[in-house]
Chains A and B, each alone.
Chain A
């Protein structure tokens, strides 16, 4: 059976206004990512890869073109609806972890389920934290955890809402090699076991190669190539 299209992008252009005038960051991007596929977006700094990730995840509104997440037409929705779609389809892992400093590890992981009103949030979070090897750190605050541990909590949080698509922005960027490796293994394991589509922005060619496909951003344009 043919796999469904998870993300479909057509003629995506994005322009921002800066002090020096309008700046076009993305220029007519077309792409399609299939369900359960893992895709790496690579490119030099300032090439527009983070902007693309933000638009794909509905964190910002594109200037022109269309983005579809499954059957949802992202680019024409209000922030209210986009948030609902994110809650339904999307999970995130960030370079700087972005755990809420005022919440314990378990509470951070519970958040996505709680937002959906899930009464089993705590039990699910416990299971996920156990999967990432942090069952002994449930009630620790982010500043009491190491970088690697924080990123593992972030991954547990990302999978807490059973996302169909996981966006990862430089997930190993702030970690040492050993921790980075651990995180990557965890990410791909969970990705496979849950059948999640993975879209990852990275500088790390080794990491990019682990994905099914690699897309290269250069001066706001996208080319597909094998590394």
Chain B
């Protein structure tokens, strides 16, 4: 066995290396467990959302799906299915109706299931499978319009199909926008024979894909460069949709939690390294006097670090894996679906954290360690010459790099780093003033108070450093608590129990009163009706849209399609005026759409409404809460402009489950009215939010435990001096109570100031996070100002007293001998 390993084994026995190893294991373990857990949650969200897309990924095209895409999907080992949707006339009983028909292959849907019913206007049961060839499923509305029921024949082009089920929900269409025509679904095998698709038909072809995430990513990389205009790649969670946003925020939180875990790990590693170096200073000097060369020592420590890294990383990864398994199993009883297995590829993150932590925290300190002069053995008070600034800078850069690596971005790490730097300054100045003041207010050493306060000032620099560590850990905790509470509150507020879950549209003005009466009789609460007129923006500020975007590439949403326009006397629910006057005779534009199109107040738009051109200036800009489940509009026009055009009306309703059957049957009296049930989407969102809230609380708990461990490590790192002082006091005849009181005052003061400064920092950080990362409104968190100092005093005093209990129990002689 080499000298290095013999020395290392002896070091392990003494516990010094174990402290370092423990810090590394905590570091790698925390980051790994959170990383893996987040990965599993993401997979789980993706799977849940995939049910709404009917697939993991989808390619939509205006032209038939290229056979090479299917071949590639097959090569990539992906499951695939096809859906072809188009509007066509359906005939039955001498009646005809324009319908939205989908033809699907047998494997459709790859995720989720159809909701079908045997009864007209039933609420539906999940059904895995597709219509058999020769059959068709029709929506209740289509059935009533054509006056058909199960077993009847329906003609589609040259083919006659038999109605076998009533279609309640198509898994791939719940999130699509209002479809005017009633729906039906048939088997793809019958499509060609119908001869309804002819060149020039408006058809939407979809290729649905499902499979392994890596294969999907490879497929995406292969396909994206080939996509032409009119072809789109869709993932289950898209920015801007409700589920996507909710998950996005949760991911930001988890990312933040993970980042904070990274910072805590860094602090733990720095503390353990400093302790290791401190305890090895004299050992290295002695080894040098015995003839150990700097090169040999360098080799010894490097080998030790490598061995430490290998063991620490392996144990850390294993521990991390077990912790996330434990979290997942705790959560499994609360989740509606089983969490998918984590991907092994996420393990690199923990390994990288460990490696970088060692490189930036251990290596610079170790390299200084081997530079210690052997002369120190003759001058026991000689101190190692540290270039502290360089070490701090390296540590800081390392921490920043780690956070960037972890978040794959710069914003969050930058906010955190600026906050930490600010906190360091604040700690240095407030701590210095407070400790100095404490010292000058007390003189003599007759009470625990005086001794405690005097100790704070005497060990000023180590105490300031400790104060910084305490402050950081408490601050990180407060940030997480703050973000968690506001995030969950925000979600719950977003989705009240009675959020509208049905849209009624395609309603004529003369039907409104009758619908109101009938639904009121059912006890369904009445909603506002919004008139809807179709129109398209054709000119913006005297420039035609066609000339602005000749090939349609990069066209903002406001210009690229026909919009639903409305008029309203008052700014509706979920709308907030940002700029201008809503009642003015002009256009009111939704803020996000205006920004995307580069429009400002005063700009002039020309719209083509039913063949007429209308030109109006923008007189107000609105912010719209798209989560309000109210009908919302990009453009609101003055009543005077729109009232003469024929309008359809739209409204959103909350229909409880118990009322659904009656509601549908009532609406059967209005066969031309379209109903869109978004209850499933809402339920999905509520499920996801529920799971997220629980997951977030567990992750928070996990981080808090890691934080407590770091606090303990920090107290331990300065324990020897405190123990020595305590032992001396006892030798001099001090009672245990006095020593305890002195420790209580010292730790209590450290905890109080740490908590107070942490509250300042957390409040500032939360402001930055809410405004820049979560894009939410900033608010004040009074609770943090109580929690901060409270946690500080209680936790740090407890940890301090528990860690120092030896001073009160062990005979002073033994203690002094051990310490020397």
- For B380, list chain A residues within 8 Å (CB): 96
Answer yes or no: B780 CB below 8 A from chain A CBs: no
Q: Answer yes or no: A111 CB below 8 A from chain B CBs.
A: yes
Which listed segment binds A: B256-264, B266-274, B293-301?
B293-301
- Residues 1-31 of B, flagged 1 when their CB comes within 8 A of A and 0 if not, give 0010010001101101000000000000000
Among residues of A, the one whose C-beta sits closest to the C-beta of B292 is: A115
* A83 and B375 in contact, given A98-B286, A103-B10 (Cβ under 8 angstroms): no
Q: Does A143 contact B (CB under 8 A)?
A: yes
CB-based contact B378/A54 at 8 Å = yes
Assess whether A59 is in contact with B11, with CB atoms less than 8 Å apart.
Answer: no
> B344 in the interface, Cβ–Cβ < 8 Å?
no
Alpha-carbon gap, A53 to B282, bound state (A): 18
Asked if B291 is at the interface (CB within 8 A of a chain A CB), the reply is: yes
Interface digits, A35-68 against B, CB 8 Å rule (1 contact, 0 not)?
Answer: 0000000000000001001100101100000000
Most buried by A among B10, B16, B373, B377: B377
Selected from A86, A96, A102, A117, the residue in CB contact (under 8 A) with B289 is A86
A50 to B376, CA, bound (A): 11
- Give every chain B residue within 8 A of A111 (Cβ-Cβ): 287, 290
> Does A126 touch B at the CB level, under 8 Å?
no
User: Is the C-beta of B332 less than 8 angstroms from some C-beta in chain A?
Assistant: no
B289 / chain A contacts, CB cutoff of 8 Å: 57, 59, 86, 90, 92, 98
Point out the residue from A60, A79, A88 that lies within 8 Å of B294, measured CB to CB.
A79
- How close is B693's CB to chain A, nearest CB, in angstroms? 48
Contact B378 A83 (CB under 8 A): no
Interface pair A90/B374, CB less than 8 Å apart: no
Expressed in whole angstroms, the Cα–Cα distance for A143 and B16 within the complex equals: 16
Is B817 a contact of A143 with CB atoms below 8 Å?
yes
Which of B14, B293, B379 meets A101, CB within 8 Å? B14
* Contact of A13 with B by CB under 8 A: no
Judge whether B93 is part of the interface by a CB distance below 8 angstroms: no
- Which of A50, A86, A107 interacts with B290 by CB under 8 Å? A86
| Chain B proximity mask over A84-99: 1 for CB below 8 Å, otherwise 0 | 1011101010101010
Which of chain A's residues has its CB closest to B283's CB? A100
Assess the A117–B293 pair: CB atoms within 8 A: no
Q: Which of A117, A161, A169 contacts B3 (CB 8 A)?
A: A117
Asked if A84 and B291 sit within 8 Å, CB to CB, the answer is: yes
| B295 pairs with A87, CB closer than 8 A | no
Of B13, B291, B295, which one neighbours A161 at CB under 8 angstroms? Answer: B291
- The CA of A157 and the CA of B283, in the complex, are separated in Å by 14
Interface status of B818 (Cβ within 8 A of chain A):
yes
Chain B contact surface mostly: helix
Contacts of B282 in A (CB 8 A): 98
Total contacts A to B, CB within 8 angstroms? 83
Q: Quick check: B375 and A59 within 8 Å, CB to CB?
A: yes
Q: Are B294 and A83 in contact (CB under 8 A)?
A: yes
Q: Is the CB of A161 within 8 A of B14?
A: no
Smallest CB-CB separation from B295: which chain A residue? Answer: A80
The reply to whether the CB of B288 lies closer than 8 angstroms to some CB of chain A is: yes
Q: In the complex, what distance in Å separates the CA atom of A101 from the CA atom of B375?
A: 19
Residue of B at shortest CB range from A114?
B3
Asked if A94 contacts B10 (CB within 8 A), the reply is no
Contact indicator A83/B291 (Cβ below 8 Å): yes
B293 touches A84 (CB 8 A): yes
Complex: how many Å from CA A143 to CA B295?
30
Beyond A57-B289, A86-B290, A111-B290, is A102–B10 a contact (Cβ under 8 Å)? Answer: yes
| A-chain residues with CB within 8 Å of residue B287 when the two chains form the complex | 111, 115
Measured between C-beta atoms, what is the minimum distance from B287 to chain A in Å? Answer: 7
A53 interface neighbour in B295, B378, B818, Cβ under 8 Å: B378
Q: Once bound together, how far apart are the Cα atoms of A111 and B663, in whole Å?
A: 89
Q: Hey, which chain B residues are within 8 Å of A92, CB to CB?
A: 289-290, 377
| A88 touches which of B291, B296, B377 (Cβ 8 Å) | B291
Quick one: CB contact mask for A135-160 with B, threshold 8 Å, 1 for yes?
00000000100000000000001000
Q: Which residues of A contact B290 (CB under 8 A)?
A: 86-87, 92, 111-112, 115, 157, 161
Across-interface contacts of A131 in B (CB, < 8 A): none
Chain B 366-382 interface residues, beta-carbon cutoff 8 Å to A: 373-375, 377-380
Q: How far is the CA of A83 from the CA of B371 in the complex (A)?
A: 12
- Measured in the bound complex, the distance between the Cα atoms of B3 and A103 in whole Å is 13
Minimum Cβ distance to chain A for residue B212 (Å): 51
A116 is an interface residue with CB less than 8 A from chain B:
yes
Task: Report the separation of the CA atoms of residues A51 and B13 in the bound assembly, to the nearest whole angstrom.
Answer: 35
Q: Which residues of B contact A101 (CB under 8 A)?
A: 14
Q: Which B residues lie within 8 Å of A88 (CB)?
A: 291
Known contacts A100-B283, A114-B3: does B11 contact A94 (CB below 8 Å)? no
Q: Bound state CA distance, A87 and B291, in angstroms?
A: 4
Residue of B with least CB distance to A158: B290
Contact of B10 among A79, A98, A107, A112 (CB under 8 A): A107
Do the beta carbons of B378 and A50 come within 8 Å of each other? yes
Contacting residue for B11 out of A57, A102, A169, CB 8 A: A102
CB atoms of A50 and B291 under 8 A apart:
no
A115 and B291: CB pair below 8 A? yes
Q: How far is the CB of B805 from chain A (nearest CB, A)?
A: 20
Cβ–Cβ < 8 Å partners of B818 in chain A:
143
Nearest CB in chain B: distance from A29 CB, A: 17
- Which chain B residues border A84 with CB–CB below 8 Å? 291, 293
With both chains docked as a complex, state the minimum distance between the C-beta of B383 and any C-beta of chain A, in angstroms. Answer: 14
Distance in angstroms from B594 CB to nearest chain A CB is 67
Once bound together, how far apart are the Cα atoms of A100 and B293, in whole Å? 17
Could you give, for residues 166-190 of chain A, a 1 whenever the CB lies within 8 Å of some chain B CB and a 0 otherwise? 0001000000000000000000000
Are the C-beta atoms of B377 and A115 separated by less than 8 Å?
Answer: no
Contacts of A50 in B (CB 8 A): 378-379
**Across the two chains, which residue of chain B brings its CB closest to A53?**
B378
Contact indicator B292/A83 (Cβ below 8 Å):
yes
- Of chain B, the residue at the smallest CB distance from A88 is B291
Contact of B377 among A79, A94, A116 (CB under 8 A): A94
Q: Which residues 107-125 of A have a CB within 8 angstroms of B?
A: 107, 111-112, 114-117
Contacts of A94 in B (CB 8 A): 377-378
A88→B294 CA distance, assembly (Å): 16
B293 & A80 in contact (Cβ 8 Å cutoff): yes
Residues from chain A with a CB closer than 8 A to the CB of B291 are 83-84, 86-88, 90, 112, 115-116, 161
> Would you give the shortest CB distance from A62 to chain B, in whole angstroms?
12
**With A and B bound together, what is the CA distance between A38 and B10 in angstroms?**
36
A102 touches B295 (CB 8 A): no
Q: Measured between C-beta atoms, what is the minimum distance from B307 to chain A in Å?
A: 17
Are the CB atoms of B11 and A87 closer together than 8 Å? Answer: no
Kindly list chain B residues whose C-beta atoms are within 8 Å of the C-beta of A53. Answer: 378
- B256 CB, min distance to chain A CBs, angstroms: 40
The complex places the Cα of A60 from the Cα of B382 at a distance, in Å, of 13
Residues of B within 8 A of A98 (CB): 282, 286, 289, 377
How many angstroms from the CA of A114 to the CA of B9 in the assembled complex?
A: 15
From A59, A86, A157, B378 is in contact (CB under 8 Å) with A59
Measured between beta carbons, the chain A residues less than 8 angstroms from B292 are 83, 87, 115
CA distance A117 to B296 in the complex (A): 12
Among A59, A86, A88, A94, the most chain B Cβ lie within 10 Å of the Cβ of: A59
CB distance from A120 to the nearest CB of B (A): 14
With the chains together, A57 CA to B282 CA distance in Å?
A: 17
**Residue from the list B14, B293, B374 in contact with A59, Cβ < 8 A:** B374
Q: Which residue of A lies closest to B14 (CB)?
A: A102
Min C-beta distance of B746 to chain A, whole Å: 27
Given contacts A50-B378, A90-B291, A98-B282, 6 further A-B contacts (CB under 8 A): A86-B289, A87-B292, A98-B286, A102-B283, A143-B818, A161-B291
Ranked nearest first, the 7 interchain pairs of A and B with the lowest CB-CB distance are A87-B291, A102-B14, A83-B293, A59-B374, A59-B375, A60-B375, A86-B291
Chain B interface (Cβ < 8 Å from any Cβ of A) = 3, 6, 10-11, 13-14, 16, 282-283, 286-296, 373-375, 377-380, 817-818
A-B contact list, 25 entries, CB within 8 Å: A50-B379, A57-B289, A59-B289, A59-B373, A59-B378, A60-B374, A80-B295, A83-B292, A86-B374, A87-B290, A87-B291, A88-B291, A90-B289, A100-B283, A100-B286, A102-B14, A107-B10, A111-B287, A111-B290, A112-B290, A112-B291, A115-B3, A143-B817, A143-B818, A169-B378
